[in-house]
Amino acid sequence: MNDYLLEASYFAASILFIMGLKALCSPVSARRGMLYAELGMLLAIVGTLLKNEIVSYEWIIVGIMLGSLIGGLLARLMPMTAMPQLVAISHAFGALAATLVGVVKFEEHVATNIDSWLMTVLGIEVLFGSLTITGSLIAFIKLQELITGAPITYRFQNIINLILFIGALGLFGFLLVNPATSVVFYLMLGAGLLIGVLLVLPIGGADMPVVLALLNSYAGLASAATGFAINNDVLIIAGALNAASGFFLAMIMSKAMNRSFTNVLFGAVGAKPGELHAQAQAKTVTRYTPEDVEFLLSSAQSVIIIPGYGMAVAQAQHPVQELGDLLMHQGIKVRYAIHPVAGRMPGHMNVLLAEANVSYDLLFEPDQINDEFSETDVVLVIGANDVINPAARYKKDSPLYGMPILDADKAHSVVILKRSLGSGFAGEDNELFYAKNTLMVFGDAKTTLNSLVQLLKHKEMALARK
Amino acid sequence: MNLQLFEMIYILALAGFLGFEVIRRVPPLLHTPLMSATNAISGISLVGSLVAAGSNKGTLSTVLGFIAVTSATINVVGGFLVTDRMLKMFKRKEEKPQ
**Which residues are CB-contacts of A294 (< 8 A; sequence separation ≥ 6)?**
A452, A455, A456, A459
10-residue block means of pLDDT along chain B (98 residues)?
83 94 94 95 93 90 96 96 95 60
Rg of the Cα atoms in chain B = 19
Nearest to A232 among B1, B47, B67 (CB): B47
pLDDT confidence tier of residue A276, bands split at 50, 70 and 90: very low
**Which residues are CB-contacts of A307 (< 8 A; sequence separation ≥ 6)?**
A317, A320, A336, A338, A342, A349, A352, A353, A382, A383, A384
> What average pLDDT does the segment A347-363 reach?
94
Nearest 5°: phi and psi at B96?
A: -75, 120
Under DSSP, is residue B26 helix (H, G, I), strand (E, B) or coil? coil
ipTM score of complex? 0.93
Catalytic residue selected from A325, A367, A377, A386: A386
Question: Which chain B residues are within 8 Å of A80, Cβ to Cβ?
Answer: 86, 89
A64, B73 in Cβ contact below 8 A?
yes
pLDDT at A113 over 80: no
pLDDT confidence tier of residue A161, bands split at 50, 70 and 90: confident
Interface test with B, best of A90, A140, A317 (most B CBs within 10 A): A90
Residue A139 DSSP class: H
Give the model confidence (pLDDT) of A23-69 as tens digits.
999 999 999 999 999 999 999 999 999 888 888 999 999 999 999 99
How far separated are the first and last CA of chain B, in Å rounded? 69
A386 counts as catalytic: yes
Interface test with B, best of A41, A57, A104 (most B CBs within 10 A): A104
Cβ distance of A34 and B87 shorter than 8 Å: yes
> What average pLDDT does the segment A456-464 reach?
86
Inter-chain contacts counted by CB atoms under 8 A, chains A and B: 368
> What average pLDDT does the segment A96-108 reach?
94
Cβ distance of B91 and A22 shorter than 8 Å: no
Q: How far apart are CA B1 and CA B7, in angstroms?
A: 11
A421, A433 in Cβ contact below 8 A?
yes
**Whole-structure pTM value:** 0.90
Cβ distance of B26 and A222 shorter than 8 Å: no
Asked if B11 reaches chain A (Cβ–Cβ under 8 Å), the answer is: yes
CA distance A82 to chain B (A): 11
Question: Which chain A residues are within 8 Å of B95, Cβ to Cβ?
Answer: none
Asked if B10 reaches chain A (Cβ–Cβ under 8 Å), the answer is: no
